[in-house]
Amino acid sequence: MDAMVKIGRIGKAHGISGELKAFVEDAYWEDFLNAEILFLEIRGQHLPYFIEDIRSGNAVLLKLEDLNTREDAQMLHGKDIYLRKEDILPDEARTIIIEPGFERYTGYNIEDEANGLIGKIEEVIEMPQQMMAVVVYRGREILIPLNEQFIVRADTGQSVLHMNLPDGLLDL
Per the CB < 8 A criterion, the answer to whether 132 and 146 are in contact is yes
Alpha-carbon distances, residue 70 vs 4, 76, 158 (angstroms): 28, 10, 32
Domain boundaries for CATH 2.30.30.240 within the chain: 102-171
- For residue 49, the model assigns a pLDDT of 96
Q: CA–CA distance from 3 to each of 87, 104, 129, 141 (Å)? A: 10, 25, 43, 39
Q: Where in the chain is the domain with CATH 2.40.30.60?
A: 4-90
pLDDT above 60 (res 148) = yes
Spell out the CATH class of 102-171: mainly beta
149 has pLDDT over 80 = yes
Whether residue 31 is predicted with pLDDT greater than 90 in this model: the reply is: no
Q: What is the pLDDT of residue 52?
A: 93
Direct distance between the N- and C-terminal alpha carbons of the chain, in angstroms, rounded to an integer = 51
Q: What is the pLDDT of residue 18?
A: 92
Of 27-36, 40-49, 68-77, 156-165, the poorest mean pLDDT is in 27-36
Q: Quick one: pLDDT at residue 57?
A: 62
Going across the sheet that includes 160-163, the strands are 140-146, 131-137, 116-126, 109-112, 160-163, 151-155
- pLDDT single digits (tens) 86-145: 988 876 666 555 556 788 888 999 999 999 999 999 888 877 778 889 999 988 889 999
What class has domain 4-90?
Answer: mainly beta
CA atoms within 13 A on the CB side of 167: 0
